[in-house]
Chain A
Amino acid sequence: MKIYQMLPTLSFGDAVSNDTLALSKVIEGMGYKTEIYAENIDARLPKGIAKYVSKLPRLSANDIIIYHLSTGSKLNYKLAEYRCRKVVVYHNVTPPSFFEPYSIKATQLCSDGLEGVRYLADKVDYCLAVSEYNKQELIQMGYTCQIDVLPILIPFDDYKKEPDAAVLAKYNDGYTNLLFTGRIAPNKRQEDVIRAFYYYKKFYNPKSRLILVGSHNGMERYYQRLKSYINALELEDVVFPGHIKFNAILAYYKLADVFLCQSEHEGFCVPLVEAMCFDTPIVAFDSSAIGDTLGGSGILLKDKNPAETAGMIDKIVTDKQLKETVLANQRERLADFDNQKIAEAFQKYLLKFIADGR
């Protein structure tokens, strides 16, 4: 019996790809032969780390494909044709409506993705959802197979690397740094982060800065709109570092006084866990899987009022006791994402799935 992982694109540094690579190590550790197959493989990844789907060998009925579902792809349909046992790891597909004003291509991709998710509802044998939110979504889409929740495996060792000294030197200047990391994308609502920062800077702390780390590739119109919005507000000290090296991202996390998330759609939100790892207090809007990932930690706001959000940020920055409580809760929650814990859960789920197939 072989266990293969499959996904449309194996990228360098994104959450789905990192999860795939990490699970691959776990499967190898269990003693099974495993490989990763993808339609697209990022050239920056080491050679041989994955193969193209066209090279997938003949499958036997007791082989397993673990398919990472997160976007539109013809693989979403091809998966059903493989004569083997099928597991879907559901990372979530962003609702296409977020992209409608900005990109026909992205809208179509998400729309196709959701159709693909629905298509596979009665064609897979087992699902792993990276959050309870994702699990409920699968159930709503008609999935009746067993679905377990398995958080994403996050490479915490990578965060111990040396941060970019130049970035640290540049922004460690007594300013209060607010941070959000994530692709510049409309579902992440960077405009609401900007608006909350505007009120924080205006009403509470003029010596503050907002850093929005993330690439805007494919979302140039949205990015331009954000820049225009910043101009309209006559807002200063908003930094878009763009697509940067990993050690620069580490530096921004180290500099951050508050992590501010106003996203309206996340399947998991790895940056929240990253903020926990860097002991940065989190203020987040309660939407989609954000509450699941925070698991009672951080500050979860039910309403999206920028002035009130600014007030909460100020409370975290100025009230030491509150900040310490938030951080203590976050440290406790972070332990739930320990790689060993998640790897063991995955092993348990996989062994049960294998046993059920015999």
Chain B
Amino acid sequence: MEQINIEDIMKEIRADIAAKGYADNEIPFGDIACLAGGTELPFDMKDYMDELKEMDESRTILAYRDIRSTRKGLGGLITFCKKVIRKIVSFYVEPLVDDQNRFNELTTITMAQTVRRFNDDDARIEELEKKIYKCERRIRELEAQLLKDEQK
């Protein structure tokens, strides 16, 4: 393996950096706030959207469901009796199902609105962060300029 004299190359680079006045004076990573608080469980947007989709697909409940029986012999009688019971209680069950469907529809619509709000908020926060960092950068530049002027 051919030896590369990295230290010699680095000396060249350092000299070049010094000559050109390149300096590492940008905002340090340590100054970037870390999101604190909230739940330990991470929020996953993909999971959230998948679950929202599943919610939307399953929001409608059917009051009328197919009734069958696979029991030998008595199967036919059991099915008939169940159908009769279904008919008898339908006056009570169907309004409940309608109410539930209405609730499900409203919940799904509201949850979808929440996603739009998330996205809007995220975009606003990102814009605000950009403005804050721009201002902080300007403050640092002005402070550095002020210090230079004072030293003169």
Contact = CB atoms under 8 A, between A and B. Distances in A.
Interface of A: 101-105, 191-192, 195, 198-199, 203, 217-222, 224-225, 228-229, 231-234, 296-297, 299-301, 305-308, 311-312, 315, 322, 325-326, 328-329, 332-333
Contacts, number: 93
B14 interface: yes
What are the 5 closest A-B residue pairs judged by CB atoms, nearest first? A311-B13, A232-B133, A191-B29, A220-B42, A329-B1
Given A218-B42, A308-B17, A329-B2, A234 B130 contact: yes
A325 B4 contact: yes
Contacts of A300: 6
Nearest to A103: B40
28 contacts: A101-B34, A195-B26, A199-B24, A203-B20, A203-B22, A217-B42, A220-B42, A220-B43, A225-B33, A228-B32, A231-B133, A232-B32, A232-B133, A233-B133, A234-B130, A297-B1, A299-B6, A305-B24, A306-B24, A307-B23, A308-B17, A311-B13, A311-B16, A311-B17, A315-B13, A322-B4, A325-B2, A329-B1
Given A225-B32, A307-B23, A333-B1, 9 more contacts: A101-B34, A221-B35, A221-B42, A232-B27, A232-B32, A234-B130, A299-B4, A307-B22, A328-B1
Given A234-B130, A307-B17, A296 B24 contact: no
Contact of A229 (B29, B42, B43): B29
B94 to A, nearest CB: 40
Nearest to B131: A231
A272 to B, nearest CB: 15
A198 B24 CA distance: 10
A308 B26 contact: no
Contacts of B133: 231-234
Contact of A198 (B26, B40, B130, B134): B26
B115 to A, nearest CB: 17
Contacts of A326: 4
Contacts of B32: 225, 228-229, 232
Contact of B129 (A191, A232, A307): A232
Contact of B33 (A102, A228, A306): A228
Interface residues of B, number: 32
Given A103-B40, A231-B130, A225 B9 contact: no
Given A225-B34, A234-B133, A308 B4 contact: no
B126 interface: yes
Contacts of A332: 1
Contact of B27 (A220, A233, A312): A233
B10 interface: yes
A315 B17 CA distance: 13
A198 B29 CA distance: 12
Nearest to A227: B126
A224 B32 CA distance: 10
Given A225-B34, A229-B29, A299-B4, A234 B134 contact: yes
Nearest to B7: A302
A65 B73 CA distance: 56
A57 B14 CA distance: 62
A224 B2 contact: no
Contact of B35 (A225, A231, A329): A225
Contacts of B150: none
A306 B22 CA distance: 11
B116 to A, nearest CB: 20
Interface in B59-115: none
Contacts of A308: 10, 13-14, 17
